Amino acid sequence: MSSTTIEVRGGQPLLRVPARNHRMINSVVCGVSIKRHHRESNHLLSRTSGPSLGFVPTRTDASQFLRGDCNGKFGRFGGKFVPETLMSCLKDLEDEFHFVLSDHDFQEELATALKDYIGRETPLYFAGRLTEHYKNLAGTIGSGPDIYLKREDLNHCGSHKINNALAQAMIARRLGCSRVVAATGAGQHGVATAAACAKLSLECTVFMGSTDIEKQSSNVLSMKLLSAQVKAVEGTFKDASSEAIRNWVGNLDNTYYLSGTVVGPHPSPIMVREFQSVIGKETRRQANQLWGGKPDVLVACVGSGSNALGLFHEFVGDEDVRLVGVEAAGLGLDSGKHSATLAVGDVGVYHGSMSYLLQDDQGQILRPHSVGVGLEYPGVGPEISFLKETGRAEFYTATDQEAIQACMLLSRLEGIIPALEASHALAFLDKLVPTLHDGAKVVVNCSGRGDKDLDTLIQQGVLSSLC
């Protein structure tokens, strides 16, 4: 595949993967085929090239751009593509969500838990040796950009997932549900949900792909230790998600489906985004304290989008702050083994909402791949899709090997072992840093810690090569 060169202000050009002819084709809702009348004209959906980096389109409806409309739509993305039997349940959830946003008791309990149970606020850490590494690599006499890490890996349970899991578990309790079901890929959301349910005395069942159970055995043991029931599903995270949704639909009277990422029918994507936005809010406050301004560039890995939106959302309205998402290119975009939905995907409906998806010409969902198991989802959230389509955020890719190298680099230089998911964001620094001006402030979301990935690194031969 050829690449096009797009100029970056204040630096050298970056290579950007050209968008393919994005079209919406038949897909599935909770595993059920939808009708072709959801198709839109190809000429409306075609995108053969993206806007220049840093470009922000003129917005006529800032509130929709920042928060979505009353139906959970971001432009054409989002919505509720679900059976009629679920509409009432989702409406009750939406009402409760809007209520707790302004409910003093709920917010006070959540704020206390974020501080005393989860361990917030997480540091905005200046990665001095990593910064020096890129300065030396460039061989310049200038100071180069400063690299900071938002340390979500220091949260209780080891990732950003607990921010949302605890808040939603509190909602489940308020709704009178005694049981919570969830799906997990890398296991981080599963562990977070299990911990939140243990804290709030809720029964917890976590569905997990059989291949992921083998890769993430330590997280499976953690979930079981936290009293969760772990149910294996043939396949990966997308299959576990489908099974969790089916289980929820069959037990609506007492069961709450706790989504861990910004996908699914409204209001799930907005709920997860809202509870993860604490990441960006802290980042703004900490940046102002550290250097008296805002970050110049925010960088986050993108699987389906929860950690990226958690960092980005606070700054979407700040047009002088670049938002950079990094997808998993796996073994390469032409290999068929990747999770780069935004780079090569099409628009369709899956798991209850419209977004970019990895699918074939018949609308069948393709199996994603990444060395970072948490990035293995064949779609992205509607808000992430909207940020791509409007050009407000920039999206690139990093391969498995690039992510592994970035993981090793941060471990050696900063004494921090990042999750392989977050390592994709770190890997993109190789291409990003040379394009930035001296003194630019770059914040990378270190969304999880990497001890869960040691078995994967062993299988990749990385640790044995260090001995």
Distances (CA, A) of 74 to 172, 325, 383, 419, 451: 26, 18, 6, 30, 36
Tell the CATH topology of 84-118+161-271: Rossmann fold (3.40.50)
Q: What is the pLDDT of residues 368-418, one digit of tens each?
A: 999 999 999 999 999 999 999 999 999 999 999 999 999 999 999 999 999
H-only helix segments in 175-267: 188-200, 210-215, 217-225, 237-249
- As a whole number of Å, the end-to-end CA separation of the chain is 37
**Percent of residues in the chain assigned helix, strand, coil, to nearest 5:** 45, 20, 35
Task: Quickly state the pLDDT bin for 72 (edges 50, 70, 90).
Answer: confident
Strands in 116-225 per DSSP E = 124-126, 146-151, 179-184, 203-209
Lowest-pLDDT range of 4-18, 75-89, 251-265, 385-399:
4-18
Which contacts qualify for 313-320: CB closer than 8 Å, 24 or more apart? 313/66, 313/273, 313/276, 313/277, 313/280, 314/277, 314/279, 314/280, 314/281, 314/283, 314/284, 315/280, 315/284, 316/65, 316/66, 316/387, 316/392, 317/62, 317/65, 317/66, 318/294, 319/56, 320/294, 320/296
Peptide bond into 368 cis (omega under 30): no
Structure tokens at 83: 């059976």
pLDDT over 90 percentage in the chain: 78
> To 5 degrees, how large is the angle CA 452–CA 454–CA 460?
130
Q: What is the mean pLDDT of residues 57-72?
A: 54
Establish whether domains 4-34+68-79+276-466 and 84-118+161-271 are of one fold: yes
Domain extent listing, the chain: 4-34+68-79+276-466, 84-118+161-271
DSSP SS3 for 437 = coil
DSSP SS3 for 336 = coil
Among 15, 9, 10, smallest CA distance to 50 is for 15
**Whole-number pLDDT of residue 459:** 87
Taking the CA of residue 462 as centre, how many other CA atoms within 13 Å lie in the half-sphere pointing to its CB?
A: 20
CATH of domain 4-34+68-79+276-466: 3.40.50.1100
Task: Please give the DSSP secondary-structure letter assigned to residue 397.
Answer: E
How far is 228 from 202, CA to CA, in rounded Å? 10
Q: What is the mean pLDDT of residues 184-199?
A: 96
How far is 254 from 95, CA to CA, in rounded Å? 18
* Nearby residues of 112 by Cβ (< 8 Å), 6 or more positions away: none
Place of tokens 């540091």: 123
Q: 64 or 441: which carries more pLDDT confidence?
A: 441
How far is 229 from 97, CA to CA, in rounded Å? 27
DSSP SS3 for 426 = helix
Please provide the size of the chain in residues. Answer: 467
Q: What is the pLDDT of residues 94-125, one digit of tens each?
A: 999 999 999 999 999 999 999 999 999 999 99
Among 233, 220, 159, 232, smallest CA distance to 194 is for 220
Place of tokens 């096009």: 4
**Whole-number pLDDT of residue 140:** 56
Q: What is the pLDDT of residues 257-295, one digit of tens each?
A: 999 999 999 999 999 999 999 999 999 999 999 999 999
How far is 40 from 346, CA to CA, in rounded Å? 12
